[in-house]
Amino acid sequence: MALIAQQPAETTVYFIAGFCVILGTIFMYVLSLWFRWHQSCKDFKNLQNIDIVEEF
């Protein structure tokens, strides 16, 4: 009797989907951090300018 090797299930689609979710979310979070950082930098600079102006 020939033994038929069992093929693993064809689930590559889910693998790709899962990976996209994981890496994609990490990437989006990093982006959000970057964006918030730049926004805060701008705010900080503006406030510092106001501060300097008010010193007079």
Partner 1 sequence: MVPKPQLLRILDFVTVVLLLIATGLVFFYAPIEAIMGNVQKVFYFHVASAWVGMLSFMVAAVVGILYLAREERKWDTIGLSSVEIGLIFSIIAVVSGSIWARPIWNTWWTWDPRLTTTTIMIFVYAAYFMLRSGIDDPDKMARFTAVYAIIGFVSVPLTFFSARLYRTIHPVIIGSNQPGATSSFEMTVSMQFVFFFSLITFTFIYLDLLWHRVRLGILQEKIIQLKMKLYD
Residues that bind partner 1 (CB under 8 A): 6, 8-12, 14-15, 17-19, 21-23, 25-26, 29-30, 33, 36-37, 40-41, 43-44, 47-48, 50-51, 54
CB of 2 to partner 1, least distance (A): 19
Q: How far apart are CA 27 and CA 21, in angstroms?
A: 10
Q: Cβ closer to partner 1: 2 or 6?
A: 6
CB of 1 to partner 1, least distance (A): 21
Q: How many residues does the chain have?
A: 56
Q: How far apart are CA 23 and CA 14, in angstroms?
A: 14
